[in-house]
Amino acid sequence: MKAPPRRPLVALAICAGIALAFLAAYYARMRPLPELEAFVQDLQTRFGRKTPVDERLVLIGVDKPAYLADFSDEEIQREPVLGEMRHTFPWSRAVWARLIEKLAAAGAKVIVFDFVFAAPGEGDEEFRAAIEKHRDRVVLGYNLNQTRTDRGGVLTEMQIPNGTVFTPAPGVSPLEDDRLGYVTIWPDADDVIRRAQYRMSGDQAGDVAAPEVRLESLAARAVRKFGRPELIPPGTNSLPFRYTGPPGFGFRPHPIGDVLSPKLWASNYGGGSFFAGKIVLVGPTAEIFHDVHPTPFAGGHRQMPGPEL
What CA–CA distances, in Å, run from 240 to 156, 184, 233? 24, 16, 11
| Cα-Cα end-to-end distance for the chain | 45
- What is the value of pTM for the model shown? 0.86
CA distance 60 to 283: 7
CA distance 94 to 118: 16
Tens place of pLDDT per residue across the chain (309 aa):
555 555 666 666 666 666 665 555 555 555 555 677 888 888 888 888 999 999 999 999 999 999 998 999 999 999 999 999 999 999 999 999 999 999 999 999 999 999 999 999 999 999 999 999 999 999 999 999 877 666 666 677 889 999 999 998 888 888 889 999 999 999 998 999 999 999 999 888 887 888 888 999 999 999 999 999 999 999 999 999 999 999 988 899 999 999 999 999 999 999 999 999 999 999 999 988 989 999 999 776 689 999 999
* DSSP annotation string for 132-189: HHTTTTEEEEEEEEEEE-TTS-EEEEEE---TTT--PPTT--GGGSTTEEE------T
- pLDDT attached to residue 202: 86
Stated length of the chain: 309
Rounded to the nearest angstrom, the gap between the alpha carbon of residue 242 and the centroid of all alpha carbons in its chain is 15
Q: What 3-state class would DSSP assign to 92?
A: coil
- pLDDT attached to residue 152: 61
- pLDDT attached to residue 12: 63
214-216 vs 292-294, strand pairing mode? unpaired
- pLDDT attached to residue 30: 54
On the question of a cis peptide bond just before residue 262, with omega within 30 degrees of 0, the verdict is: no
- pLDDT attached to residue 6: 56
CA distance 127 to 164: 9
| Contact call for residues 120 and 92 (beta carbons, < 8 A) | no
